[in-house]
Structure 1
Amino acid sequence: MRIKSQRDFWSGLMFLIVGVAFAVGSLDYSFGTSARPGPGYFPFGLGVLQALLGGVVLFKSLTIETEGGDPIGAVAWKPLLVIVAAIAVFGFLLPRLGMVLTLPVLVCMASLAGDEFHWKDALISSVVLTVGSWIIFIWGLRLTIPTWPPFLQP
């Protein structure tokens, strides 16, 4: 069997492996019911869905011919490292600074991964995403995410 699209083959394989890993990893958690899903319900469903998507993309890469074999280009190291660093910094700062101060740091750091960075755009995105996250996670879902730093709590 010949690979007809390298890009689709490797991305499909990656999706398939990560999806199966998440589905298998979620088996240690309780599923609950459809009316009251447990902590394993959502990751298992997403893992299976991602694995199915990966399987479809993988199948497509082996059956549908693309011009020139659609080769994989060079790895974009700068965006990859900046995004991974931004997520790590977010995980480190969230319990220390709270969501309201940590989300703008995340957005501004992640904005640096692109070729065109403008402070105005990053700050507008930070405000919109912070307000939206507060509405969804704190007000709507009532999650216990620290909103403000501990030293500003009453």
Structure 2
Amino acid sequence: MPMESSSTAAGSARRTSSRSVLIGQIVLAVLGAYVVITSLSLGLWTSLGPGPGLFPFAMGALLALLSVIWFFQERSEATETAEPVDGGLVLAVVLSLLILASVMNLLGFQVSMFLFLLYHLRIRSHRTWPSSLIISLAGSVGVFYAFYYGLNVALPTALLLPLTLIGL
């Protein structure tokens, strides 16, 4: 008899989890559809090229599509237990993002993003030093120059005098 009650408890936990996941899938699909519909009024294309509604349209369609794919993936899985969440990892990511946001204007995008990526790649993920340095450089300096020169989007530069003197 106790076995039946424990299996019933596991089944109800699964139903509760599935209900919350289903609500999340519906909310994201509706949000994606809303973004698609409202982006149409902005115009997808102009005589000069892509219009202001093209990017929101693409992102809304992608969000709705991925929500539908997620729905079908959840229905095809036979697992009954959810994977445990690593609270330490979540805390480390949230705290490092808060630190990144707080030092970005002082250190600039390049230095702060380099340190952020290096922390997550080398210390949290235990990657080798060469791969951590290469990926951190590409993700900080490379992205900075891609945005600055390729997209004409200014990212924060350093306010500290030694860093500004060397162009960071």
1:99 to 80, 92, 109: 109
Distance 1:60 1:81 in 2: 28
User: Counterpart amino acid of 1:37?
Assistant: G
Tell me if 1:42 matches 2:52.
no
Equivalent in the alignment of 1:127: 137
User: Counterpart amino acid of 2:64?
Assistant: A
Tell me if 1:77 matches 2:87.
yes
TM-score (norm 1): 0.66
User: Counterpart amino acid of 1:31?
Assistant: L
TM-score (norm 2): 0.62
2:42 to 31, 39, 51: 31
Unaligned runs of 5+ in 2: 1-13
Distance 1:77 1:61 in 2: 23
Post-superposition offset of 1:59? 2.6
How high is the sequence identity, in percent, across the aligned residues? 21
Select the structure with the greater relative contact order (CA < 8 A; seq sep ≥ 6).
Answer: 1
Post-superposition offset of 1:103? 1.1
Tell me if 1:60 matches 2:70.
no
Post-superposition offset of 1:15? 5.5
User: Counterpart amino acid of 2:146?
Assistant: I
1:140 to 130, 136, 150: 150
Report the number of matched residues.
143
| C-alpha RMSD of matched pairs (Å) | 3.6
Give the number of the structure whose alpha-carbon radius of gyration is greater: 2
8 Å CA contact retained: 1:18, 1:51:
yes
Q: 1:52 to 1:100 in 2, by over 3 A?
A: same
